[in-house]
Structure 1
Amino acid sequence: MDTVEANNPRKQATTNALMIRYHAYGRRVRTMLYLGGVLQVRTHSAIRAYIAGFSVILMCLSHCIFLINLSRDHADNLILMVKYFSQMTSFIAPALMSACFLIKRKKLIELHETLNDLFEQELERDREAALATLYAFDRPFCIVFFTLASTVLLYVCPPLISIIRQIFHHTEPRRYRLPFPAKFPWTVPINGGFLFYLHFLYHLFLGWWIVFTINSVDSLFGFYAFQISSILHAMSVKLGSNLRSRGTFSEVLETCVRTHRRLFQCSYMLEDIWQLIILRMLLVNSILICALIFEASQLTDITMNVFVFIFYIALKLLQTFMYAWYGNFITSASEQFREGIYFSDWPDSSLDRHVRANVIITMMQKPMTIKALKVSAVNVNMFTNIVNTAMSYFFLLQSLDEGR
């Protein structure tokens, strides 16, 4: 830690508070991964990880089949078909995320350990620079979780309250319903009983996976984006500081170039693990936002469904924007680091020819960019493209509905 920081109690207290907040942020993400059944670390048993992962995949994909079975009965109703499609895409997401994490388990563990080591090294050198952008990452984590949990609760709570009310008032005959629409190949009693409550428990697990699996995977992407961008930012600050000794500057520059090379490898691993997840978001969220707006436009009365649509649309917009924002942070920090090298005193420093060649190669490299299967860069432009596409699909759906 800097001498100036050590001599400034107020600055040191702020830095300590940021450290506490950073560790709390990391613990929350880890807890979410554990609750979502997608935690992949060496200290966590591989057998338990595969059992939890396959449970998520089996439950979510089976419900997609039940939704397809239900949609066959309403093929002539465009509004219901749109509704079932939007829910189907939501249940596919946890299954895809869990599958990607199981397939890329070793690479995910390597990425986690590498970034943690690099970030801890930067914390030892300059905590203030490494934690400068923490607020931009841990706050959206809480906002996305609240929005996602509220959306699922709006589906789960009404039927649960109805069951409790009918039991309390001894209503006869009782008519229960499940939180999520589905058509099972077998008959599910609507007046209670063991079979009904077993199906209700199955739906509660579905809601659990949607909340914790989706939120944990999205938050983990943000956590890694924070670590990569913060390390790049800390190195940029270091290169811009006034180092008196040429030898010291040469050592710092050599360390930064070596760290930058490892960060590039981490960005490739991050892209490889998340590329299918991001591609699904690119293909689905524009259609899903369009479907939700179209379904909401057909409502005539203000009911509980209005709040469901509001939270659901806000969730999809927020989820898309978060990925775009995280990707933009990485690219901006990478550009800032390249500029930091360019405007530093590296031509006059005592570097050997190998390090000097690496410095030139680093400046010539393109900024780090996360892409989805090399198709689309994850940045703010991606978010605007998805919103524009969603509105185009919405007007198309409206014209199709008016022509029926």
Structure 2
Amino acid sequence: MEHVVRRYEKYKDGILFMLIVSGLWPNYDEHPEKLKIIFSICSAVTTGGATLGMVYFCISNFTNVNVLTRGLGLMISYFSTFLKVIVLVYHKKNILKLSKGASAQFEEDLKTPANRPFLLAYFPTFSKFYYCFRYSVALNIFMMVLKPLLALRQGKYIRTYPVKIPFEYESGKELHDNYYLVKLLIIMNFHLLIGGLVHWIIYALEVAAGYYCWSVTVGVDTFFGFFTLHLVGELQLLSSRFADMKPDKNHRKIIKELVDRHNLLIEAQRTVQKIFGLLSVWLAITCAFIICAIIFQATETKNMTAYKAVYLLCYAFLKLVQAYSYAWYGHIITSERCLNEMYNSTWPGLGDVRLMKDILFMQSQKPLIFKAKSCMIVQLDMFTKIIHTSASYFFLLQTLDEGQIENFK
């Protein structure tokens, strides 16, 4: 199990790194509060600014369904990133509560080799979700950021995202007016410096927005999985201890510890709901539309290039992974195994009425269920509903587009 533990440590460090550089990890003892504030402001301002530019673009092209769809999908994605920054900053106390409660207990139990098979039973699946999502988002952002640089080969200056800048500027005018400076830059292979200063400042902000979109989106979504892994691992360990429980002189101490652990997990599950409940509802609503927008772009694009095809496939893949991972996280928390092991254990013969009442109370509890904002149970069927809703949105968009063509005729 040593190699699995090392993989877990790498997995944990990767998630925490993305949260730290995004200013969303509230452990002030290890990371200065001022640095955290600077990072969180950068992530909020860049993603929020990109969102506003896309909102302006969508408003300007409101009557054109094809163009509107292209901007609306990315606008929702970047607003979702901005929302995640706000939500995690708001819930910093709850995050600290989890990290010092159930997560700290998980890390302590992990030090005992006998506990590792139970604690890390589902880790391979969590790890696969993490790396698939991390690299697919990175590839998608990289392809968007690379697009303006590739356009330079044809002498075009384009924006990274479908945004509209609320002021006028001419790309490339400042340096193109200076013939000798342009020639010098070409000789020195500094082609990227040829262009207007305003254009490249905006491009730098777009790159920053893309970076924070990657770090915040991957960091926050896999952070949900990180806490879920701890809850599920502790439930597995708790179940095994109930299964192995035998009447002896230490049974009072053992059962008291198990009761306390169960209560800790119930409280941790409620805290996870508070942090990720709104984000789960938002994802269920918006993910369906974004997938629909991707399909609509793929079917309506007349001159599809290989570059755009790969981009759309990657974008669709990451949205599917994101939707399925949220649904699976909620599903895996729900388990009756712990309650079944309590029932099958030797507690009726312990003879201690108080402890028997505690166990009966634990058995009367329902399995842990992830309920987002008391309005939606996060289960695997949520993923199916998202796919069905995407199909409904797609047919609606096709109808609107056909109606627009008829009106144009």
| TM-score calculated relative to the size of structure 1 | 0.89
Q: Secondary structure of 1:40's match?
A: coil
Shift of 1:352: 4.5
- 2:297 aligned partner: 295
- 1:136 aligned partner: 125
- 1:158 aligned partner: 147
Query: For 1:244 and 1:61, how far apart are their aligned partners in 2?
Result: 57
- 2:16 aligned partner: 30
Query: For 2:273 and 2:289, how far apart are their aligned partners in 1?
Result: 23
Query: For 1:341 and 1:306, how far apart are their aligned partners in 2?
Result: 53
Query: For 1:155 and 1:86, how far apart are their aligned partners in 2?
Result: 14
1:146 equivalent among 131, 135, 145 = 135
- 2:216 aligned partner: 213
Structure 1: tracts of 5 or more residues without a match: 1-14, 167-173
- 1:170 aligned partner: none
- 1:377 aligned partner: 377
Shift of 1:238: 2.0
AA partner of residue 337 (structure 1): C
Tell me: CA distance 1:250–1:315, structure 2 relative to 1, closer, same or farther (3 Å).
same
Aligned 8 A contact 2:239 2:337 in 1: yes
AA partner of residue 379 (structure 2): N
Aligned 8 A contact 1:250 1:350 in 2: no
- 2:115 aligned partner: 126
1:234 equivalent among 233, 237, 249 = 237
1:176 equivalent among 157, 165, 186 = 157
Query: For 2:43 and 2:251, how far apart are their aligned partners in 1?
Result: 51
- 1:67 aligned partner: 54
AA partner of residue 292 (structure 1): I
Q: Could you report, residue by residue, the CA deviation over 1:199-251 in whole angstroms, capped at 9, with x for unpaired residues?
A: 1100000110111110000111101100100110111122223x554334443
Number of corresponding residues: 378
- Larger mean CA deviation between 108-117 and 40-49 belongs to 40-49
Query: For 1:147 and 1:365, how far apart are their aligned partners in 2?
Result: 39
Q: Secondary structure of 2:25's match?
A: coil
Query: For 2:308 and 2:54, how far apart are their aligned partners in 1?
Result: 19
2:248 equivalent among 223, 240, 246 = 246
| TM-score calculated relative to the size of structure 2 | 0.88
Aligned 8 A contact 1:286 1:390 in 2: yes
- 1:3 aligned partner: none
Shift of 1:360: 1.2
Superposition pairs of residues 5-404 of structure 1, within 5 angstroms: 15-42=1-28, 43-123=30-110, 124=112, 126-163=115-152, 165=153, 174-191=155-172, 192-241=195-244, 243-303=245-305, 304-332=307-335, 335-353=336-354, 355-404=355-404
Q: Could you report, residue by residue, the CA deviation over 1:234-270 in whole angstroms, capped at 9, with x for unpaired residues?
A: 11122223x5543344433332221010111111111
Structure 2: tracts of 5 or more residues without a match: 173-194, 405-409
AA partner of residue 24 (structure 2): V
Query: For 2:296 and 2:104, how far apart are their aligned partners in 1?
Result: 48
Tell me: CA distance 1:301–1:194, structure 2 relative to 1, closer, same or farther (3 Å).
closer
Tell me: CA distance 1:321–1:259, structure 2 relative to 1, closer, same or farther (3 Å).
same
Instruction: State the identity %.
Output: 25
Shift of 1:350: 4.1
